[in-house]
């Protein structure tokens, strides 16, 4: 089993970043294939050539008959099978490690930018943070958990690796059937030079070998089944995600609205003025869009009424926010274009907007969400 | 053969390699060293015992085996793997020397960035770039040389089933039969294919490094 440690060490790392079914598959691989092969099967096939007896005195006839009967020994075939079946997981692990490295680089960049912005003063701070946050979503790295989340390109790699793994399993199972059939016969009749005539050759330990052949075949079929189950599980998850995404997207017109909770919290962290937070965040902390069509028209009517009634009144932070809320503007498309204005700036803007209170058109200096 | 020592040494080099270098190392360990240890050694295990000659003349079999297999495939592959891994040790030595120099300068009172010292990643720049590139070049050369040696020594990459031998003390041309020729051919071709892949990876890494440095130089001049 020590000889398998080269592969074993690599697969341990894959184990960390797999789904539950993936972990079961790896365990099956380690215990039922590698361990059994290394300990039991090797010793069973140990004397396969020395005890391969042919009913002939012709020198060389046994050699050639053994070579014809077993072009590649079962054990070596299974070794190749295990290696080829594990290889796609290694490719996935390479991608995962790459993702981790990109994440670390991103964090370093973030820290650098933070340091830089603290010196310069944060005008572009928010935009940069948000663009970086967008990349996180695509990469599939959960900062809080330190775990890799299967998302985007990483999920695609994972799915492809499972597909290739499945194809390899099938290829090797079919290959084994083509080479040897399912069971090993005790007697093998051989006709090949220099054997003078068809010669009876007797295989060593056929029953024991058959037991192991059936066992390894069963484990291969089980691994195949686990791979298919994992594909189904991932496919179902992806379809579910897509359905929920399309459902969430329909009421909202602002694109790119589907942030997950950590991202929403992150976005909230980046908005210095507390008023802004009050406006945007819903009680449960989710970053939902206030700019739906239905809500907009309702707000419109309400705000016209409010404007007429209140006039010059300075509501404590409510005035300008109501005005900006109903604005269904193209600038709103960017979820991250929320600059950090100081408090008195709002007051000035309020006065300006009251002068043109009849208009509900978007103004470039309106707060966009 | 104990390959664990080589793994321990090369594991350290892995940290300072490019991505392609890391892939190369993985391919080396899983597709070459592991296959050699787990599978190929068993296949070639009984190569002399089951080398059968159609003669009763004592000594004829020994002489014929020696004539046709001056050095066994297994030993040749082991040598190939050692030679191909050795240039990476040059890189490891250079990195160790660089770090030692930094520590010495730090002790002498120079202002060194402690974070960088602690952080083990050393970028492939300057003299290290030359060491790294020459190590890749030597790797490619060794791979090619060994692939040629295999071809020259065994007249191609296929293991014959029957060899005819007339060396002394064999009284006449004697038929000798090689053990497991098909399986041996399969593994020879497999190892050859993986050597080819490793060579491609090394070439790609070399090109990547050269292009990177050229781009840097052009950026500096513009």
Query: Which positions in chain A touch B49 (Cβ < 8 Å)?
Result: 50
Partners of A187 in the β-ladder: A202
Identify the CA nearest to B146 among candidates B212, B75, B204, B48: B75
Secondary structure (3-state) at A202:
strand
* Domain count for chain A: 1
CATH no. for residue A241? 1.20.1440.80
The Cα angle at residue A290 between residues A286 and A292, in degrees rounded to 5: 120
Chain A residues 188-207 with a CB less than 8 Å from chain B: 193-194
- CA distances, A203 to each of A66, A69, A241 (Å): 9, 9, 56
Query: Which positions in chain A touch B38 (Cβ < 8 Å)?
Result: 3-4, 79
* pLDDT (mean) for B189-211: 94
Domains in chain B, CATH or no CATH each: 21-49+71-158+180-219 (1.20.1440.80)
Chain B residues 151-180 with a CB less than 8 Å from chain A: 161-162, 175-180
Tally C-beta pairs within 8 A across A and B. 96
Phi-psi region of B59 (alpha: psi -120 to 50; beta: other; left: phi over 0): left
Taking the Cβ of residue B72 and every Cβ of chain A, the question of whether any pair is shorter than 8 Å is answered with no
CB A179 within 8 A of CB A96: no
The Cα angle at residue A105 between residues A104 and A108, in degrees rounded to 5: 90
Dihedral of CA atoms B133, B135, B138, B140 in degrees, nearest 10, equals -70
Q: Is the pLDDT of residue B112 over 70?
A: no
Containing A199, the helix (H) or strand (E) segment is strand A199-202
Mark yes or no for CB contact A73/B37 under 8 Å. no
Looking up tokens 């790295």 gives A141
With respect to residue A307, please indicate whether it lies within any of the assigned structural domains.
Answer: no
Q: How crowded is the C-beta side of A45, counted as CA atoms within 13 Å? A: 25
Please name the residues in contact with A202: beta carbons below 8 A apart, sequence gap of 6 or more: A52, A53, A54, A55, A186, A187, A188
Secondary structure (3-state) at A54:
strand
pLDDT value at position A188?
92
Residues of the domain holding A35? 19-50+73-112+151-185+206-245
CB A263 within 8 A of CB A136: yes
* pLDDT (mean) for B104-114: 71
Count of C-beta atoms within a 10 Å radius of residue B111 = 7
With respect to residue A275, please indicate whether it lies within any of the assigned structural domains.
Answer: no
Radius of gyration of chain A (CA): 34
Q: Which of A312-321, B6-15, B154-163 is modeled with the greatest confidence? A: B154-163
DSSP 8-state symbol, A121: -
Identify the CA nearest to A263 among candidates A328, A195, A214, A335: A335
Terminal alpha carbon distance of chain A: 59
* pLDDT (mean) for B154-161: 91
Q: Is the peptide bond before B195 cis (omega within 30 degrees of 0)?
A: no
Q: Give chain B's mean pLDDT.
A: 88
Partners of A199 in the β-ladder: A190
% of chain B residues with pLDDT over 70: 94
Please name the residues in contact with A302: beta carbons below 8 A apart, sequence gap of 6 or more: A322
Identify the CA nearest to A335 among candidates A245, A266, A243: A266
Looking up tokens 């002939």 gives A56
Taking the Cβ of residue A111 and every Cβ of chain B, the question of whether any pair is shorter than 8 Å is answered with no
With respect to residue A13, please indicate whether it lies within any of the assigned structural domains.
Answer: no
- CA distances, B131 to each of B14, B21, B72, B91, B97 (Å): 15, 14, 33, 6, 12
CB B22 within 8 A of CB B202: no
Please name the residues in contact with B35: beta carbons below 8 A apart, sequence gap of 6 or more: A79, A83, B187, B190, B191, B194
CB A138 within 8 A of CB A185: no
Structure tokens at A69: 């009967």
CA distance A313 to A319: 8
CA distance A227 to A162: 6
Partners of B177 in the β-ladder: B52, B162
Query: Which positions in chain B touch A80 (Cβ < 8 Å)?
Result: 39, 190
Partners of B175 in the β-ladder: B164
Query: Between B89 and A357, where is the model more confident?
Result: B89
With respect to residue A297, please indicate whether it lies within any of the assigned structural domains.
Answer: no
With respect to residue A194, please indicate whether it lies within any of the assigned structural domains.
Answer: no
Query: Which positions in chain A touch B176 (Cβ < 8 Å)?
Result: 60
Task: Tell me which chain B residue has its CA closest to the CA of residue A101.
Answer: B19
Q: Answer yes or no: pTM beyond 0.80.
A: no
* pLDDT (mean) for B44-50: 88
With respect to residue A140, please indicate whether it lies within any of the assigned structural domains.
Answer: no
What's the average pLDDT block by block, 10 residues per block, for chain A (369 residues)? 75 81 88 88 87 91 93 94 92 84 86 83 55 48 56 84 94 94 92 91 92 93 93 82 74 44 45 49 44 54 58 45 40 43 46 50 49
DSSP 8-state symbol, A326: T
With respect to residue A337, please indicate whether it lies within any of the assigned structural domains.
Answer: no
Mark yes or no for CB contact A194/B175 under 8 Å. yes
With respect to residue A155, please indicate whether it lies within any of the assigned structural domains.
Answer: yes
Q: Is the pLDDT of residue B116 over 60?
A: no
Taking the Cβ of residue B85 and every Cβ of chain A, the question of whether any pair is shorter than 8 Å is answered with no
Q: What share of chain A is helix, strand, coil (3-state, %, to 5)?
A: 65, 5, 30
Taking the Cβ of residue B38 and every Cβ of chain A, the question of whether any pair is shorter than 8 Å is answered with yes
Taking the Cβ of residue A71 and every Cβ of chain B, the question of whether any pair is shorter than 8 Å is answered with yes
Query: Does ipTM come in above 0.90?
Result: no
Identify the CA nearest to A211 among candidates A44, A32, A35, A1: A44
């Amino acid at each position: 089993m020590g000889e398998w440690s080269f592969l074993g060490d690599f697969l341990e790392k894959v184990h960390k970043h797999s789904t539950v079914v993936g972990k079961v598959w790896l365990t099956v691989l380690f215990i039922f294939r590698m361990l059994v092969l290394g300990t039991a099967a090797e010793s069973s096939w140990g004397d396969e050539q020395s005890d391969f007896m042919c009913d002939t005195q012709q020198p060389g006839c046994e050699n050639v008959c053994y070579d014809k009967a077993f072009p590649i020994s079962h054990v070596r075939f299974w070794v190749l099978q295990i290696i080829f079946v594990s290889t796609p997981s290694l490719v996935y692990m390479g991608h995962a490690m790459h993702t981790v490295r990109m994440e670390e680089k991103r964090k370093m960049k973030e820290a650098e930018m933070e340091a830089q912005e603290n010196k310069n003063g944060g005008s572009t701070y928010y935009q940069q943070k948000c663009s970086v946050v967008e990349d996180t979503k695509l990469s599939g790295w959960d900062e809080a958990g330190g775990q890799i989340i299967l998302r985007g390109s990483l999920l695609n790699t994972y799915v492809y690796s499972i597909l290739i793994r499945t194809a390899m399993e099938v290829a090797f199972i079919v290959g084994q059937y083509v080479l040897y059939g399912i069971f090993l016969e005790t007697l093998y009749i051989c006709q090949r030079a220099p054997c003078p005539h068809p010669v009876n050759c007797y295989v060593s330990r056929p029953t024991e070998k058959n037991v192991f052949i059936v066992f390894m075949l069963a484990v291969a079929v089980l691994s195949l089944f686990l791979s298919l189950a994992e594909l189904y599980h991932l496919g179902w998850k992806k379809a579910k995600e897509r359905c929920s995404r399309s459902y969430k997207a329909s009421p909202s017109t602002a694109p790119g609205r589907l942030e997950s909770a950590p991202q929403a919290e992150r976005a909230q962290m980046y908005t210095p003025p507390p008023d802004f937070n009050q406006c945007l965040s819903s009680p449960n902390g989710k970053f939902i869009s206030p700019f739906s069509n239905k809500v907009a028209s309702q707000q419109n009517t309400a705000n016209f009424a409010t404007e007429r009634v209140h006039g010059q009144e300075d509501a404590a932070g409510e005035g300008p926010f109501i005005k900006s809320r109903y604005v269904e503007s193209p600038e709103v498309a960017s979820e991250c274009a929320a600059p950090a204005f100081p408090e008195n700036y709002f007051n000035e803007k309020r006065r300006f907007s009251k002068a043109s209170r009849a208009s509900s058109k978007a103004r470039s200096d309106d707060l966009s969400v | 053969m104990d390959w664990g020592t080589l793994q321990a040494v090369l594991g350290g080099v892995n940290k300072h390699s490019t991505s392609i270098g890391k892939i190369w190392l993985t391919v080396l360990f899983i597709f070459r060293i592991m296959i050699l240890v787990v599978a190929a050694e068993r296949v070639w295990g009984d190569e002399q015992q089951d080398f059968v000659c159609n003669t009763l003349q004592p000594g004829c079999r020994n002489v014929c085996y020696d004539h046709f297999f001056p050095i066994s495939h297994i030993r040749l592959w082991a040598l190939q793997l050692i030679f191909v891994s050795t240039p990476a040790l040059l890189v490891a030595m250079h990195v160790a020397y660089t770090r030692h120099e930094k520590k010495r300068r730090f002790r002498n009172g120079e202002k060194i960035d402690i974070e960088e010292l602690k952080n083990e990643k050393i970028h492939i720049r300057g003299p290290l770039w030359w060491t790294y590139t020459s190590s890749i070049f030597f790797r490619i050369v060794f791979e090619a040389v060994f692939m040629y040696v295999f071809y020259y020594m065994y007249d191609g990459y296929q293991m014959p089933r029957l060899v005819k031998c007339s060396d002394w003390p064999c009284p006449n041309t004697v038929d000798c039969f090689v053990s497991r020729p098909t399986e041996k051919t399969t593994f020879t071709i497999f190892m050859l294919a993986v050597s080819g892949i490793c060579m491609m990876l090394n070439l790609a890494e070399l090109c990547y490094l050269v292009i990177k440095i050229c781009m840097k130089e052009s950026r500096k001049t513009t």
